[in-house]
């Protein structure tokens, strides 16, 4: 069973140790570090390491760029290695933030526990997974969930378009999609194919969604899937488009539009996007890490829309702020300790 998405943090019993870390960090700042760790001097400074999702990276990067504009002595270093690979770093305490296109798995929860990494998460937007074809492909007008599963499942016997529907061309499909380090990979295989990781092994796999979109745009027989934001980046200039996909809500076919996603019709290929926060980092550099969490939450709806994604509801923004307040309390701090305040 996956961990509950209603749980905002682990390890509440470790509050005292986190508060102690915060105290040591503050003492170090006062004694010899000045403002370099982001909690002293004339303003925020220091580096925030953000690992994780290739899909969510544009939102986190844009939030980081805006944060750096306001605080020029801060660097938000975003490494989009994929959700799975990013959690391997995050759960070993090698990053402060973890962008994720899916919820943390039981195995990753265990890895974090083994390394005494306590965390919380924010919901930073909504995304659709776009199933894409080349614009010169005039035969695929829509596709069912069962057809997608048949194409992509392990040891699939689908090689040509006519293997999917008899009336489609007897030409080989050029398949492109995310690799196994990706949260998008996990989400698609679990929600479309039926089991996480169950996928054919003869497709072109990559950690970079822009490579998927580019490959499909370059080949009339290209076919694949990836984060919708990357399609939005190139669809006006290159021959690529989304395919209407059958909805498990009502059986009709829908494109990944804002209304379809927010109305719950583009299902199961719509999902929430997350940013996980290392609470030890928050304890050690409370103002820097906490102010970025607050800044990210204040602007998350705008940041998501700016990057071609969709905004989480206002109620989620409110919940995110409440989470940040609870984390601050856990590490022995308060909202007033942050340079960036709630809007």
CA 124 to chain centre: 8
Q: What is the pLDDT of residue 29?
A: 37
Q: What is the pLDDT of residue 42?
A: 56
Are 94 and 191 within one domain? no
Q: What is the pLDDT of residue 20?
A: 40
Would you say residue 38 lies in a domain? yes
Q: What is the pLDDT of residues 31-80, one digit of tens each?
A: 333 334 555 445 899 999 999 998 899 999 999 999 999 999 999 999 99
Are 331 and 256 within one domain? no
* Contact between 295 and 97 (Cβ < 8 Å): no
Task: Out of 270, 292, 325, pick the residue that ends a domain.
Answer: 270
Its pTM stands at: 0.71
Burial class (CB in 10 A: 0-12, 13-18, 19+), 7: exposed
Q: What is the pLDDT of residue 11?
A: 32
* Contact between 308 and 120 (Cβ < 8 Å): no
Q: What is the pLDDT of residues 120-141, one digit of tens each?
A: 999 999 988 999 999 999 999 9
Are 42 and 84 within one domain? yes
Burial class (CB in 10 A: 0-12, 13-18, 19+), 84: buried
- Residue 310 is classified by DSSP as B
Would you say residue 7 lies in a domain? no
Q: What is the pLDDT of residue 26?
A: 39
Token match 């002595």: residue? Answer: 73
**How far is it, in rounded angstroms, from Cα 161 to Cα 164?**
5
Cα→Cα distances 42→28, 39, 161, 336, Å: 17, 9, 62, 17
Are 48 and 110 within one domain? yes
**How far is it, in rounded angstroms, from Cα 232 to Cα 227?**
9
Q: How many CA atoms lie within 13 A of 296 on its CB side?
A: 32
Would you say residue 212 lies in a domain? yes
What's the CATH code of the domain at 297? Answer: 3.40.190.10
Which three-class secondary structure state does DSSP give residue 66?
helix
Would you say residue 167 lies in a domain? yes
Nearest to 276 by CA among 90, 12, 63, 79: 90
Are 248 and 307 within one domain? no
**How far is it, in rounded angstroms, from Cα 241 to Cα 244?**
10
Cα→Cα distances 255→2, 47, 242, 259, 269, Å: 28, 39, 7, 10, 10
The parent domain of residue 253 ranges over 127-270
Would you say residue 6 lies in a domain? no
**Total domain count for the chain?**
2
Task: Out of 270, 294, 327, pick the residue that ends a domain.
Answer: 270
Largest Cα–Cα separation, the chain: 75
Angle, helices 106-114/83-90, rounded to nearest 10 degrees: 20
Alpha helices by DSSP H, listed for 71-120, are: 83-90, 106-114
Q: pLDDT tens string for the chain (343 positions)?
A: 333 333 333 332 233 333 443 443 433 333 333 334 555 445 899 999 999 998 899 999 999 999 999 999 999 999 998 899 999 999 999 999 999 989 999 999 999 999 999 999 999 999 889 999 999 999 999 999 999 999 999 999 999 999 999 999 999 999 999 999 888 899 999 999 999 999 999 999 998 999 999 999 999 999 999 988 889 889 999 999 999 999 999 999 999 998 898 788 999 999 899 999 999 999 999 999 999 999 999 999 999 999 888 888 899 999 999 999 999 999 999 999 999 999 9
Would you say residue 277 lies in a domain? yes
Are 132 and 252 within one domain? yes
Are 254 and 285 within one domain? no
């Amino acid at each position: 069973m996956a961990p509950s998405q209603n749980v905002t943090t682990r390890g509440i019993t470790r509050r005292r140790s986190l508060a102690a870390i915060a105290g040591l960090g503050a003492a170090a700042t006062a004694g010899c570090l000045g403002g370099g760790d982001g909690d002293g001097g004339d303003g925020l400074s220091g580096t925030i390491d953000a690992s994780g999702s290739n899909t969510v990276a544009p939102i986190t990067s844009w939030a980081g760029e805006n944060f750096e504009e306001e605080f020029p002595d801060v660097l938000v270093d975003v490494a989009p290695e994929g959700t799975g690979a990013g959690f391997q770093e995050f759960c070993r305490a090698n990053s402060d933030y973890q962008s994720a296109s899916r919820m943390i798995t039981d195995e990753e929860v265990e890895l974090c526990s083994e390394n005494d990494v306590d965390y919380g998460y924010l919901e930073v937007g909504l995304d659709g997974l776009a199933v894409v074809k080349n614009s010169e492909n005039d035969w695929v007008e829509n596709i069912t969930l069962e057809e997608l599963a048949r194409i992509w499942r392990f040891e699939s016997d689908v090689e040509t378009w006519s293997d999917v529907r008899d009336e489609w061309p007897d030409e080989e499909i050029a398949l492109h999609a995310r690799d196994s380090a990706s949260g998008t990979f996990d989400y698609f295989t679990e929600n479309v194919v039926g089991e996480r990781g169950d996928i054919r092994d003869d497709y072109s796999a990559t950690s970079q969604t822009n490579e998927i979109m580019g490959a499909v745009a370059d080949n009339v027989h290209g076919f694949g899937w990836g984060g919708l934001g990357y399609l939005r980046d190139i669809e006006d200039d290159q021959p690529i488009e989304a395919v209407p996909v059958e909805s498990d809500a009502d059986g009709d076919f829908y494109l990944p539009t804002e209304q379809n996603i927010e109305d719950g019709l583009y299902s199961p290929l719509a999902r929430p996007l997350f940013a996980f926060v290392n609470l030890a980092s928050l304890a050690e550099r409370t103002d820097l890490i906490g102010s970025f969490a607050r800044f990210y939450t204040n602007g998350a709806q705008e940041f998501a829309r700016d990057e071609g994604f969709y905004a989480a509801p206002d109620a989620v923004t409110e919940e995110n702020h409440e989470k940040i307040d609870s984390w601050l309390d856990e590490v022995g701090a308060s909202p007033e300790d942050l340079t960036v305040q709630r809007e």
